[in-house]
Structure 1
Amino acid sequence: MVVVTVTNCPPGLRGDLSKWLCEINVGVYVGNISTRVRQNLWTRICENLSSGQATMVYPAMNEQGLDFKSWNSTWQAVDYDGIKLMKHPLSCEPNANEGKNYHSTAYGHLLAKRKLANDRKEYSRLNYTVVDIETTGLDPTKDQILELSAAKVRKGVIESSYSQLIGVTCSIPANISQLTGISNEMIEANGVELKSAVEKFLTFIDDDQLLLFNASFDLNFINQACKLYDYPIIENHIIDLYKEARKTFRYLSNYKLETIAAFLGLSEQKHRGLDDCILMHNVFHQLNEKLIASKEKT
């Protein structure tokens, strides 16, 4: 559920909001919309609301289960020890020791809420979408996406998947073809336009939290493609399997996906999008089992 409040809303902006949300009171809009629509609506609000104020509250994969934004407001969103709060304009600035010696009833409620959020976070580790790409090289500003893949996981089980070869405009380097098994002939026969693939990919992942390995690499390429076609960049909650593995296994010679998989007795990395999505899911599943086992011991 998304909630938007707006003051001094111009007619044109009110029309945009009414297309997607239900106005339940003057300047109060609510509804269920996708991440892309939400981001586009917020952009329109910021561009068209010159004299009024706006606030948006929406679901997010964090401890609180929500996030919020404000525009033209003296109320500002701040991070308080991992918890998002709104800073009241009349409140005094906190001193250097504030928060360290804060033991009010409200703080007790905050700790209780944080524990509940941690329990929710454990549950959320069973529900996510795995993402993997194959590319013609390492530079997102010069190289291209060869394959775009994702697998949706619910309650720890892969439920559905998306995978598509991309019709790149260059010849695939020999070392990439050897690594991935993707040939120029395969691209000619089954590759589609990047714009179409990215659009379907964004629809598939929606606002799900995403599991990637070395997330910044894949996201740099995907967001570069999003910008190319004026699509909103990915702002989903990210779980980086590389970082998770480094925290769990502190004694491996390296932290490549193939090394971690071999250590866990899993299949080899094939450097194909959907196959590697499945492999990452299996690695993450074992990491979760080790996490649960360690908590049971304590």
Structure 2
Amino acid sequence: MKWLFNKNEKNYPDYWLQYNAHFSEPKLTDINSSTYVVLDTETTGFNYDKDRILCIGAVKIIDGYIDISTAFEIYIKQDYFNEKTVEIHGLIKNERIQTVSEEEAVVLFLDYIEDAILVAHHAFYDLTMINKAMERLELPELKNQVLDTMFIYKATRPNTTGLESKKKYTLDELAEHYDIDLSDRHNASGDALITAIAFIRSVHFLVKNKNYTLKDLFNCK
């Protein structure tokens, strides 16, 4: 009867179970038929354990087009505040914006992303911050596949000197290269849109000039 006391069994909330159900069967996808959720977070700082997410912005790419009509933006109530980051993200403690709890934000975010491929610039940071929020709610980490526009853009660049593999491109550099408007830079929804445009243009180049497949995108490092 030991199975009755299996400590690995958890009673996860319904919203997690509904999210998890999207991964019950593998899907046959390619670059064009896949749904992507391009996201960005604004945070109180850069410490994964101490700092918190202030805002999550995201936009979907469906059939190769950015679906602005379903754009996602949510602000999270804060118990911790870091004045040093205000000059970056422009959010202040008492700004009159509608906020939700961290758990409410996770519920809405999971419902939005489903099993889409997640895309972000320097994705490790954004996804780690989100997974830390999941951890605080005693949930597993996100299950979605992830693409990083920094690595995808790097694959479009010539590596004639051998130094290209070590360079870390900023989102501003991608925007400059693709002539993308930066007026909404450093807010989550604006950065998500900039990232989405850069992603589409980088992927278009790789498909057209290097015959990239979805598998090749995941192999960009």
Structure 2: segments with no counterpart, 5+ residues: 5-13, 212-221
Unpaired runs of 5+ residues, structure 1, are: 1-9, 11-19, 21-32, 40-56, 66-119
**In structure 2, how many angstroms separate the alpha carbons of the residues matched to 1:198 and 1:210?**
15
Flag the structure with more relative contact order, 1 or 2, with Cα contacts below 8 A and sequence separation at least 6. 2
* Aligned pairs for 1:186-265 within 5 A: 186=95, 189-250=97-158, 254-265=168-179
State the partner residue of 1:178.
Answer: 87
Provide Cα deviations, 1:5-36, integer angstroms capped at 9, x if missing partner: xxxxx9xxxxxxxxx9xxxxxxxxxxxx8442
CA contact (8 A) 1:34 1:207 kept: no
1:139-175 alpha-carbon deviations (Å, 9 max, x no partner): 110111010122122112222111111111122323x
Q: Provide closer, same or farther for how the CA distance between residues 270 and 259 of structure 1 changes in structure 2, counting only shifts above 3 A.
A: same
The equivalent residue for 2:206 is 291
Q: Which structure has the larger Rg over C-alpha atoms? A: 1
Q: Could you say which residue in structure 2 is the equivalent of 1:59?
A: 26
For the aligned residue pairs, the C-alpha RMSD in angstroms reads 2.5
TM-score under structure 1 length normalisation: 0.57
Which residue identity lines up with residue 26 of structure 2 in the other structure? P
Contact 2:19 2:111 in 1 (8 A): no
Q: Distance in 1 between matches of 2:170 and 2:90?
A: 19
Distance 1:248 1:273 in 2: 25
> Counterpart of 2:38 in structure 1: which amino acid?
V
Query: Equivalent residues in 2 for 1:79-158 (5 A)?
Result: 120-124=29-33, 127-158=35-66
Kept in 2: contact 1:172–1:183 (CA 8 A): no
Local SS of the residue matching 1:234: coil
Counterpart of 1:162? 72
* Contact preservation (8 Å) 2:121, 2:148: yes
Q: Select the structure that is richer in strand.
A: 1
TM-score by length of 2: 0.76
Name the SS of the counterpart of 1:121 in structure 2.
coil
Compute the displacement of 1:254 (Å): 4.8
How many residue pairs get aligned? The number is 188
- Correspondence 1:36 to 2:20: yes
Say if 2:51 and 2:80, in contact at 8 Å, map to a contact too.
no
Q: State whether residues 22 and 115 of structure 2, in contact with CA within 8 Å, keep that contact through their aligned partners in structure 1.
A: no
Partners of 1:170 and 1:198 lie apart in 2 by 18
Instruction: State the alpha-carbon separation in 1 of the partners of residues 49 and 39 from structure 2.
Output: 20
